[in-house]
Amino acid sequence: MNPLNHVAIIMDGNGRWGLKYKKSRNAGHKAGLNTVEKIIKETIRNKIKFLTLFAFSTENWKRPKKEINYLFNLLENFLINRLEELDKKNIKLKILGVKNFSPKLNKLLNKSEKKTSKNTKLQINLALNYGSKFELINALKNLKKSKEKISEKNLVKYLQTKHIPDPDLLIRTGNTRRLSNFLLWQLAYSEIFFEKKLWPDFSEKDYNKILKKFKIIKRNFGNI
């Protein structure tokens, strides 16, 4: 059985789900948040220590302003209403990406990270305004400034994920087969599962089915 410490998820298909059911793209984002809560519970139940969720990429700023505002309002409300609960459940929240949002949201994100910083049951890494290419360029710049030798070991020290193990498993929903500038360095040896279902339709059963498949898959890491 393969050990499973870190699951990363590209939560794709919210907007398409909203349109498919003759609602709005925003209705899809709201439904997607329900799926997030279910998957967090299942991750804890499976004793997985790290869960990284790709919530908003650097490319997502190209979307309509109304949709972006709705997404950030959803996140604000979630943090306001659920922060105490996350803390009581011993969940740590970490933000990956550049925090250049509204002063209110930036303050909430900083407060959430600080309040949950000592929690140990599950660490949720929320990738917000995150782009892997930007992260890698920044890491290389900082490594060069440090005058340290350019090596894998030294570069990792300047990534935003420096204190987090690389994902063992990546799941992408929404019937799309690409990485979309997400954790390009960290996913080098991850097992990747592409799921046809749109994120709001992705169930606990679907999640557990993938986890079971992962645990019995043969992982060679370059060996025979």
Q: Which residues are catalytic?
A: 12, 60
Measured between alpha carbons, how far is 82 from 55 in angstroms, rounded to an integer? 17
Q: How far is CA 23 from CA 89, 115, 161, in A?
A: 33, 36, 37
Measured between alpha carbons, how far is 29 from 19 in angstroms, rounded to an integer? 11
What 3-state DSSP class applies to 76? helix
- Asked if 86 contacts 41 with a C-beta cutoff of 8 angstroms, the reply is no
Residue type (1 letter), 133: K
How far apart, in Å, do the first and last CA atoms of the chain sit?
17
Q: How many CB atoms lie within 10 A of CB 188?
A: 10
| Longest Cα separation, the chain | 56
Structure tokens at 98: 């550049």
Q: What are phi and psi of 194, to 5 degrees?
A: -100, 125
